Each structure stands twice: as C-alpha cells, then as structure tokens.
Structure 1
Amino acid sequence: MTVRRGVAAAGLLLVTACTGTDEGAGPDASSGPSSSATSSAAASSGTPPSTATPTPEPTPPPAEGPADLSRWFDAAFTGGDLQLGEVREQTSAYTSYDASYRSEGLLITGVLNVPAGEGPFPAVVLAHGYIDPAAYEQGQGMTRERGVLATDGFVAFHVDYRGHAGSDDDPALVETQRFGYAVDVLNAATALRETDLVAVDDERVAAFGRSMGGGAVLEALEMAPGHLDAGVLYASVSSNAADNFVQFNDGGGFWEQLVDLAGTPEENPGYYAAASTRTYVDRVTEPVLVVHGSADDTCPLPWAEATHAALQGAGVDATLDVYDGEGHAFGPQFPASMEAISAFLGEKLG
C-alpha cells in the first residue's frame, strides 16, 4: 500500500461547502512546503457492484430515472475543434489563452496555459470543483494549479464544463447525473491531441480534478480506460454516490431533481451503487494520485482513504498523499502538494 503523509500546518484556511459559491477556489497563491513520512490508511469497503448493462454509445436517459455511469462505458469521445481566443496572461514561463472546444456537439469554454518553448509538451486537463454555474466565471477554481503546471512544463487546459461560463447548456444534466462533466474532460483530451494550434505530446495527456472535479476525473478514467494516461484526485468528493448525497444535499436544485428522478439512497440503493465510481474501479488502467488534507471537513479524509483502498484492491497503481492539518482549499502546504503532483505527472507521463 502506498500512502504518504505530510506534516501538520498551522493557520488553516476557512472554506465553503461544496454547495457554496466556490468550493475549490481558495487564494491563488500560498507558501510553506512540507516534508513527508510514511503512514498507513484505513481501508473501506466499496459499494455493491452494479448489474447495469453497458452500452457502446451515450444515449438519452430513460424517462423513469437518471442514467448510471455504465451508460458511457467505452463510448467514442470524439471532441475537437480547439480554438484559442484572447491572451489572458503572459509570463516568462507560459502564455494563457481563452479557449473553447466541442464536446458531444456542445461548445465548451475554458482557459489554456501553454508553456514557453517549442514542445511537444505533456498536457493536463483540469476539472474544477463545484461553483454555482450562475456565478461561475471562465477559468475559475483552479487558477493556482494551472499556473504551477504550465510553469513546470505542462500544457494546462482548465475546462469550464457544460452550462458554465460561455459553454452551451445541457438540458439533460440532471437526468445524466452530471456525468457530462466527465465527458467534457475526455473530449478536452481528444481536442488537445487533435489540435495543431498547441504542441501537445499525444502520448502524454492526464487529467487533474479537485473536489467535484476529482469525481469527474475518476468517472472519466472508468468511462474510457486508456483514453487518459494518468489521473490526480485532489480533495475529491467520495467515490460512493450515497456519501455525496448525504453530505451535499441541501434539499433544492440539482438534489431535489435527483430525488424526484431516483429517490434517496435509502429508497433506491441500487441506483446509487450504479452511479458510484467505487463500483467500477476495476476499469481503471492508469496510475492515480489521491491528494487530501487531514482536516478537510467538506470532503472528509475517510472518503479519500476508501477510494485509495478500493483502487489498490482492484490492482490500480494508486498513491495516497495526506497533508496533515490541511483543509479543503489547501493553504500553507499547497506548494508542496503541487510539487508532488508535478513529480507524479512527470514520472507517470514519462
């Protein structure tokens, strides 16, 4: 079992819940590296396996309820048409552009950071955490992360998801349990590989998600084994859909509509098992780094420990990095966590 634990940090940041305005933002800069030592993580059992039959292509969900994760297994993720817009920022290390691409026919916006130099560069698709789509702004939520990655030599493509910023809306988002966000991640990887506008190494494309985005990255790894080359789950939501329901259900919006369609986990445990990434961890074929703070009360550490245990139990090359004292947003140990993430991606992408 591979588990690494960082030292405790003082002065934890206060963060909002995943149903708040920006569960993944935090400040754009922080300081204070930490050392690491070996520790052990508690294992947790997974949810019951699903009996749902996979289908080869995404199809509209049945009228009686939302789609489960298996609906997208081994579909063709043929996103493309990457377009670069205005320059947002230019440093000695990288240039940042407004960008867009196509995903299931939808226009998806985002921000693309391209390192200085000729390339080809390894690339990372960034999947942000929950931010109210009505308040979300293009490229919000992982500004720090994409800046560090581009400085370290990675093309960093922060996708806004469908229904966010300038992206097209998806009227079936609730019926499809927001799995469209993972589809957007996979199609962003396709768009990076197909473009001639940026020098991307087609054999080295990873995905990195925080909080809700961590869930989307794990969904993407399970939907399309081999489509990505590595995954990073940072302060991620649970791999058990019932955990997320209990933690984040505020009785309105998405959750109210989900209950209308599928009921609660108590009423319909089979559906929530079929919607859980933990059910399908044996589909993951790429190395995964799980990064979490021990003081995270938005997405508690036992969730990360259970996901890591499930991945390792399925034979996945999975590592858990725990940062003692860090909360959901990561503050003093953010630079150390990013140093470890860049090292992981550099090693696994080759």
Structure 2
Amino acid sequence: MRRLLPLTLLLTPLALAQSDAALAAVDAAQMSIPAARQKAYPGSALTVRQTLAAGSTYTRQVVSYQSDGLRINALLTVPRGTPPKGGWPAIVFNHGYIPPNVYRTTERYVAYQDAFARAGFVTLKSDYRGHDSSQGEALGGYYAPGYTTDVMNALSSLKRDGRVNAARIGMWGHSMGGFLTLRAMVIDRQVKAGVIWAGVVGDYHQLLNEWNNPVPASIPARILNLRKQAVAKYSTPRQNPQFWNQLSATSYLRDLGGPVQLHIGTADKEVPVAFHTSLATRLKALGKPVQNYVYPGDNHDLSRNLRVALDRSVKFFQQHL
C-alpha cells in the first residue's frame, strides 16, 4: 500500500512498443468529468477464475469482468447465508498505488476486505488494467482514464449481479483509490456512499503544485511524462482553469449522490493532509454530509488506528447502504 518502493518495471522491447502506442493515445482531456459521464460502462457478468480459501463468514474468489474490451481481474467476497430482501449491499474497493508488476490480487488489502465481508457486504477489489494478470496497459490514474473506466465497470458489474442489491452499492478507496472513488461518485450519483482513506482528493492545481513528496522509483519516466505533456498542451491550472476544473472531481461535488467519510493521519508522508482538509471544507460549504477523521501522528496506512478506522468505516456503510 506504500508508494515509496525501490523497484523498476522490467519490460521487453515488445512491451515497450505496446506502451508507447498506448501512451500516444492518451490525452488529458479524456480525464474530464463531462467526458467520463458520456462514456458507457456496461460492465459484464463476473466470471470465476479461481476459488480461494473462504473467510469465516464469506466466500472468496478471483473473478474477472470486462472493461473497454479488456479482461480485468478482481477479488470478490460474498457473505454466506440468506441475503436480505433485494440482495446484499456491496462495496467496490479501490486500492492505492502499488507497482503494477508487483501487485498481486490476493496479497494486499486482505484485512480491509475481511472487515466489510464479515459485516455482511459483498466486496469487489478491482486489479485495474495492467495489474497482475489483468489485460491492458497500466498508465496511472491521474492523467489517463483507464483506471477510472475499470472502476466504473466494476460498479456496473456488481449492479448486474443477482446477489447484489444494485441500489445499495458504495465505494471505499485508499490513496490513488480515493482519487478514483471521488471521481466515480461525481460521475454516477447511484454510488450511495464513499469512504476515502488518505485520498489523493485535491483538485488538479493542488496535484500539480502542492504534491511535492518524492516520486516512487517504480513509476516509469514515460508515465510521469503524461503530466508534462498535459501541461505543455493545456497550460497550467492557473493559466487555463476552465480546462483543469473539468478534470477535477472537486468541481462537481454538488452532484454527489451520497455522503462521504474521510480518514487521514497527520504524519502521512505520501499524500498532503491539505488535500483531505480542503475537500472536507468544500463539502461542508456545500452542505454535503461528510464525516472527517484526522489521526494525530498516524501514517499513510493508518497503522496506529487501523481497527478504529475500519470500525468507523463499517458503521458508516451500515448506516448509509
């Protein structure tokens, strides 16, 4: 779950050529919220790829779904027993940055999903394209639309599943996954509630100018270059606010369809606490329901307050889904 990992991507010449082609097709304008709202996210049936050891009160499977014609893998948990009328409530899990070639479906966020699964929620943690054995190119979440599309199709796939109550679906996101969660909530008002831990939830002015932590060595220069290309083409947020505001989920907070719960530690070295406090202030100013938790001295993973934060998150979803 940490961003600072001394790893490099090992790519064959063929993979590099494929990446170059994918990068050439990326334009920051594809990240605009209006463009995202115009796109179709049909999702698909969830196809079982592997059945895993069950949890105490739920089943676990690696499944896949379709997104932009790509097979995206995900970790699915389903409560045992008789579902409530209309089906189980569900949560889309959006993980934070992990080097795509290191990420493994079953190795991260296990305790997080377990907490919600034991509380009676279906959970689906998408691998995103290019992660583990998911198809497609991993081009990052901030300047290319692929991860957003994968999250939206994960949401649609859950809506199609007969075990799930399509009117009772929320999202949980950590770090980059918080960025994706907020975007999804303003794209689709049917996301009933969202919980964001240590989220990259600033607007693009903040992302470009107030996010000064060291860049993980595992992020290839060609991915980082997408930011430079966007600024070269569209100028800075200060010079061209109309363009960048359309990319920022924070410009569309009035369109949220449900409440938000925020968590962050004051010793977070990965994401500025200012992103969190700014979003909380904006939501309150708009009269949007928000719960705001700041943990003194805690880190990016909320390690010192993990059980408290999980309990608060579970209770929040129980109240709002």
TM-score range for the pair, normalised by the shorter chain length: 0.7 to 0.9
Corresponding position: 1:284 with 2:256: yes
Give distance in 1, aligned partners of 2:205 and 2:5. 19
More displaced, 235-244 or 206-215?
Answer: 235-244
1:122 touches 1:205 (CA, 8 Å); kept in 2? yes
Provide structure 2 residue ranges, at least 5 long, that are not aligned to the other structure: 8-23
**In structure 1, what is the equivalent of residue 156 of structure 2?**
190
Corresponding position: 1:230 with 2:193: yes
Corresponding position: 1:294 with 2:259: no
Counterparts of 1:110-129 in structure 2, within 5 Å, are 110-119=74-83, 120-129=87-96
The structure-2 alpha-carbon separation of the partners of 1:273 and 1:283, relative to structure 1 and needing over 3 Å to count, comes to same
Q: 2:316 is matched by which residue type in structure 1?
A: F
**In structure 1, what is the equivalent of residue 203 of structure 2?**
240
**In structure 1, what is the equivalent of residue 177 of structure 2?**
213
Counterparts of 1:9-158 in structure 2, within 5 Å, are 16=2, 18=3, 20=5, 66-70=29-33, 71-119=35-83, 120-158=87-125
* Cα drift, residue 140 of structure 1: 4.4
Give distance in 1, aligned partners of 2:175 and 2:317. 19
Give distance in 2, aligned partners of 1:178 and 1:315. 31
Give distance in 2, aligned partners of 1:252 and 1:62. 17
Q: 2:116 is matched by which residue type in structure 1?
A: L
Give distance in 1, aligned partners of 2:40 and 2:286. 25
* Cα drift, residue 249 of structure 1: 7.2
Provide structure 1 residue ranges, at least 5 long, that are not aligned to the other structure: 1-14, 23-60
The structure-2 alpha-carbon separation of the partners of 1:101 and 1:21, relative to structure 1 and needing over 3 Å to count, comes to farther
* Structure 2 counterpart SS, 1:297: coil
- 1:216-267 CA distance string (max 9 Å, x none): 00011111222x1111111101322233334357492322132124337478
* Cα drift, residue 342 of structure 1: 0.5
Instruction: Quote the RMSD (CA, aligned, Å).
Output: 2.8
1:126 touches 1:209 (CA, 8 Å); kept in 2? yes
**In structure 1, what is the equivalent of residue 15 of structure 2?**
none
* Cα drift, residue 187 of structure 1: 1.4
* Cα drift, residue 275 of structure 1: 2.2
* Structure 1 counterpart SS, 2:196: strand
Give distance in 2, aligned partners of 1:265 and 1:139. 39
* Structure 2 counterpart SS, 1:310: helix
More displaced, 199-208 or 122-131?
Answer: 199-208
Give distance in 2, aligned partners of 1:248 and 1:191. 35
Give distance in 2, aligned partners of 1:186 and 1:266. 26
The structure-2 alpha-carbon separation of the partners of 1:180 and 1:64, relative to structure 1 and needing over 3 Å to count, comes to closer
* Structure 2 counterpart SS, 1:67: helix
Give distance in 1, aligned partners of 2:166 and 2:197. 24
* Cα drift, residue 139 of structure 1: 4.1
Higher fraction of helix = 2
**In structure 2, what is the equivalent of residue 9 of structure 1?**
none
Q: 2:320 is matched by which residue type in structure 1?
A: K
* Cα drift, residue 310 of structure 1: 1.2
* Structure 2 counterpart SS, 1:85: strand
* Structure 2 counterpart SS, 1:320: strand
Give distance in 1, aligned partners of 2:119 and 2:265. 23
The structure-2 alpha-carbon separation of the partners of 1:293 and 1:85, relative to structure 1 and needing over 3 Å to count, comes to same
- 1:296-330 CA distance string (max 9 Å, x none): 12112221110111122223211111222211012
Give distance in 2, aligned partners of 1:63 and 1:87. 36
1:66 touches 1:262 (CA, 8 Å); kept in 2? no
Question: Identity of aligned pairs, percent?
Answer: 25
1:185 touches 1:207 (CA, 8 Å); kept in 2? no
* Cα drift, residue 146 of structure 1: 0.5
1:75 touches 1:224 (CA, 8 Å); kept in 2? no
Q: 1:116 is matched by which residue type in structure 2?
A: R
* Structure 1 counterpart SS, 2:205: helix
Could you tell me the TM-score, scaled by structure 2's length?
0.82
Structure possessing the higher relative contact order (Cα contacts under 8 Å, 6 or more residues apart): 1
Corresponding position: 1:254 with 2:254: no
